[in-house]
């Protein structure tokens, strides 16, 4: 696994073997960032369910203004710290439950969600983010899940683009609301 583009392009990222963690493969990560490439520079980014931090670190490499890397697993936090070693950009690595973090009064330009596929954590996070108006106008939620997962959320005022990469589905959910 490596950083695909930007300041740290080609940098190898450490991985680990946990049953609950499945890193985004490079070709899917590259496709995701091609879809949101014009949104990343100077963005406030939330990488919820960070795992190795690969998605958030890619955003850092591509010029995000501030990135939050969130996971509740000690091993994941340790790997994220190793993967961000010697990076000087503005980012925070936080070990906490995703809902506890989302209870803070914050807004984001990009939210990266790659939760364990067998859970409904990603859908709960999307609903909570939308209910609490945590996504800035023009902001994007990127939700990676298994291709067979049914998504039934009220996307009023949002545009949704679904892409399939093998057994992976990626939803690009953009906030078109005026506030």
pLDDT tens digits along 40-96: 999 999 999 999 999 999 999 999 999 999 999 999 999 999 999 999 999 999 999
Query: Which of 12-16, 25-29, 130-134 is least confident?
Result: 25-29
In a domain, 79, yes or no: yes
Helix (H, G, I), strand (E, B) or coil at 165: strand
In a domain, 18, yes or no: no
Q: What CATH number is given to the structural domain containing 63? A: 3.40.50.150
pLDDT of res. 66: 98
Per the CB < 8 A criterion, the answer to whether 19 and 72 are in contact is: no
Q: How many domains does the chain have?
A: 1
Per the CB < 8 A criterion, the answer to whether 68 and 17 are in contact is: no
Helix (H, G, I), strand (E, B) or coil at 34: helix
In a domain, 6, yes or no: no
In a domain, 147, yes or no: yes
Torsion angle of the four alpha carbons 4, 10, 16, 22, in this order, in degrees rounded to the nearest 10: 10
In a domain, 20, yes or no: no
Domain that holds residue 66: 26-175
Full-model pTM: 0.92
Helix 54-61 to helix 26-35 angle (10° resolution) is 50
């Amino acid at each position: 696994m490596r950083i695909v583009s930007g300041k740290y392009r080609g940098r190898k990222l450490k991985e680990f073997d946990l049953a609950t963690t499945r890193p985004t493969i490079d070709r899917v990560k590259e496709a995701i960032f091609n879809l949101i490439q014009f949104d990343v520079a100077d963005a406030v980014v939330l990488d919820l369910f960070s795992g190795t931090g690969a998605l958030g670190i890619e955003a850092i490499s591509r010029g995000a203004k501030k990135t939050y890397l969130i996971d509740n697993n000690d091993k994941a936090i340790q790997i994220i710290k190793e993967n961000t070693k010697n990076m000087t950009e503005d980012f925070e690595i936080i070990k906490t439950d995703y809902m506890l973090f989302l209870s803070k009064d914050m807004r984001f330009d990009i939210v990266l969600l790659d939760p364990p596929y067998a859970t409904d954590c990603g859908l709960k996070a999307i609903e909570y983010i939308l209910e609490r108006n945590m996504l800035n106008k023009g902001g994007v939620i990127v939700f990676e899940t298994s291709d067979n997962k049914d998504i039934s959320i009220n996307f009023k005022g949002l545009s949704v683009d679904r892409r399939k990469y093998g057994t992976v589905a990626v939803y690009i959910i953009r906030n078109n609301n005026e506030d």
